[in-house]
Amino acid sequence: MKKIRFAINVIKIFMKNQVQDITNILLDVFNMFSRCIVVFLLYAYIFKLNNGVVNGVDFKTTIWSMFIYFCIMILNIRRLDNIIMEDVQSGNVEMYMNKPTSYLTLSFMRTLGQGLFSFLLISFIGSIIMGLFIGIPKLNLVIFIPTFILTFILGQILGLLIYGTIGLLSFFVQDIRPIHWIVDKFVMILGGSYLPISMFPNFMKDLAFISPFGAINFASSTVFDFWNKEFIVRLIIQIVWIEVFVVILYIVYKKSKEKAMVNGG
C-alpha cells in the first residue's frame, strides 16, 4: 500500500510539473493535430481511390485505429530508455540506486507522470472531435470497453518493461540509441503508425500478433472486427510477454546494480 501511494505521488508530482508547462502541452496538441490531419487526409484519399474499403476494412475503423495509436504515443513511454541512459551517463543513477526506493519504479512513474496529462487531455478532446467529424465505428461495447482498458494497461506495462530493459543496457553498451531505434521502429510499425493494421501483409499481421513489440499496441486493434474473436488470446499473449520481460528486466537490473556499485566504489 505504501509503495502504491509512493508511485501515485511520483506520478502526481511529474504530472503537476507538466501542467505548469503550457508551451509543451500546446506543442503536444499541435503535433497530434498536424500528424492526424496529414494521415487522415492521406488515407481518406487512398480509401476514396479504393471505393471506401481496403482489405475489407472501412475508412472510419482504420482512422480510429490510427488515432488510438497516436494517443498512446502521446503518453510517450518510449522516452524511458533515454531517461535511464541519461541517468547512467551523468552518474545520477548510482545516487538513486542507493536510496531505499526502487530506481526502476521511480523511472517508470516519472515517465508516466511526464506524459499523462497530455495523453488524457488529447485523448479526451480528440475522441470528441473524431466522433463528431469521422463518426463512431460499429463496436460491441460490452467487449470493447473492458478489453480496451485492460489491453491498454497491459500494453503500457509491457512497454515500460521493454524500454526499461533497453535503458539499463547503457550500463553495458556505450550508446543504446541504435537498439532503441530498431526496437522503436518495430513498435511503431507493428502498432500501425504509418501503415494501418488493416493494410498489413500476412507476415506483418503474424509478427504483430506474436511479437512483444506488436503486443505493446494491441489497443489500436480493438476497433477491428477480429478483436471480438481474438481478444482473449491477445490478452494472454500480453501477460506472457510481461512475465518474460519481468524476468529479463530483473536479471539485467541485478547485473546493472552490481556494475553501478563496482564503478561507484
Partner 1 sequence: MGSLRLAVLNIKKNIANAKELKLSFMITIFGMAINNISFLIIWYYFGKTVGIINGWKPLDIFGLYGFSTTAYGIISSVFAGIFDIPTYITNATLDNFLLTPKNILLKISTSKVRTSAFGDLLFGIICFIVFTVSNKFTFIQYLLSLLLIIIVSIVFYSFSLFSMTVSFYLMDGHNVSNGLYGIFVSNSIYHGGAFTGILRLVFIILVPSLVVGALPVELVKDFSLMKLLVIGLIAIFWGVISVSFFYKSLKRYDSNSLFGFGS
Where along the sequence are the contacts to partner 1 (CB under 8 A)? Answer: 23-24, 27, 30-31, 34-35, 38, 41-43, 45-46, 49-50, 54-55, 174-175, 177-179, 181-182, 185-186, 188-189, 194-195, 199-201, 204
- Whether 221 contacts 196, CB under 8 Å: no
Question: Toward partner 1, which CB reaches closer, 100 or 203?
Answer: 203
Question: Toward partner 1, which CB reaches closer, 151 or 198?
Answer: 198
The CB-of-145 to partner 1 minimum distance in angstroms stands at 31
The CB-of-246 to partner 1 minimum distance in angstroms stands at 26
Sole residue written with cell 509491457: 158
Rounded to whole angstroms, how far apart are CA atoms 131 and 13? 32
Question: Toward partner 1, which CB reaches closer, 9 or 50?
Answer: 50
The CB-of-186 to partner 1 minimum distance in angstroms stands at 7
The CB-of-90 to partner 1 minimum distance in angstroms stands at 15
The CB-of-253 to partner 1 minimum distance in angstroms stands at 23
The CB-of-182 to partner 1 minimum distance in angstroms stands at 6
Question: Toward partner 1, which CB reaches closer, 213 or 241?
Answer: 213
Question: Toward partner 1, which CB reaches closer, 120 or 188?
Answer: 188
Question: Toward partner 1, which CB reaches closer, 104 or 189?
Answer: 189
Question: Toward partner 1, which CB reaches closer, 35 or 110?
Answer: 35
The CB-of-231 to partner 1 minimum distance in angstroms stands at 25
Query: In three state form, how does the secondary structure of the chain look?
Result: CHHHHHHHHHHHHHHHHHHHCHHHHHHHHHHHHHHHHHHHHHHHHHHHHCCCEECCEEHHHHHHHHHHHHHHHHHCHHHHHHHHHHHHHHCHHHHHHCCCCCHHHHHHHHHHHHHHHHHHHHHHHHHHHHHHHCCCCCCCHHHHHHHHHHHHHHHHHHHHHHHHHHHHHHHCCCCCHHHHHHHHHHHHHHHCCCCCHHHCCHHHHHHHHHCHHHHCCHHHHCCCCHHHHHHHHHHHHHHHHHHHHHHHHHHHHHHHHHHHHHHHC
